[in-house]
C-alpha cells in the first residue's frame, strides 16, 4: 500500500503515525510540509477527501490559526499554503482516503 504523510519530524504525533504506517508495511512518501507546503489545490483536495472543512484542519494552538477562525474556506486555505505552521498534522492519504491522524490510531482506518 502507498501512503503519503504530511509530516513534521519534530511532532511526536506525526512520528507515531509514521511508525504505524511503517510497521504496517506501507510504502510511505514523506512530505515535510513546513519545508514543502502543499498548494491551495492540494489542501482543498485533501480536506474534501477527508470529509473535513479547512477550518477543521487549523492548528488552533498557533496564534495565526486563531486569527483565521472566522475566515471563509478560501482565506483559510490560502493562509495554510502561505504559512503551513497553521496546518494541523499529520494528514495521511492512501488509496482508501485521507485522515487527520489525531490521535495516531486514526490512521489505521486507511490500512
What is the tens place of the pLDDT at every residue in 75-92? 999 999 999 999 999 999
Across the range 32-59, mean pLDDT stands at 97
Quote the percentage of the chain above a pLDDT of 70: 100
What number does CATH give the domain 2-110? 3.40.30.10
Residue 69 pLDDT greater than 90, yes or no: no
Catalytic residues: 11
How wide is the angle at C-alpha 1 spanned by C-alphas 29 and 104, nearest 5°? 65
Half-sphere exposure (Cβ direction) of 8: Cα atoms closer than 13 Å: 16
C-alpha cell at 103: 490521535
C-alpha cell at 97: 482516503
- Tell me the per-residue pLDDT of 1-28, one tens digit each, with 9 for 90 and over: 999 999 999 999 999 999 999 999 999 9
pLDDT at 46: 98
How wide is the angle at C-alpha 109 spanned by C-alphas 107 and 111, nearest 5°? 80
pLDDT at 59: 96
Across the range 52-61, mean pLDDT stands at 96
Distance CA(64)–CA(6), nearest Å, equals: 19
Task: Return mean pLDDT, the chain.
Answer: 97
Q: How far is CA 67 from the centre of its chain?
A: 19
pLDDT at 4: 98
H or E element, residue 80: helix 73-82
Amino acid at each position: 500500500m502507498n501512503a503519503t504523510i504530511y509530516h513534521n519530524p519534530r511532532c511526536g504525533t506525526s512520528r507515531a503515525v509514521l511508525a504505524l504506517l511503517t510497521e504496517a508495511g506501507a510504502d510511505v512518501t514523506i512530505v515535510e510540509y513546513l519545508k514543502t507546503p502543499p498548494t491551495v489545490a492540494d489542501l482543498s483536495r485533501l480536506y474534501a477527501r477527508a470529509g473535513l472543512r479547512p477550518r477543521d484542519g487549523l492548528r488552533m494552538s498557533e496564534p495565526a490559526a486563531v486569527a483565521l477562525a472566522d475566515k471563509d474556506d478560501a482565506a483559510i486555505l490560502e493562509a495554510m499554503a502561505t504559512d503551513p505552521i497553521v496546518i494541523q498534522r499529520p494528514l495521511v492519504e492512501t488509496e482508501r482516503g485521507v485522515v487527520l491522524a489525531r490521535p495516531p490510531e486514526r490512521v489505521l482506518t486507511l490500512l
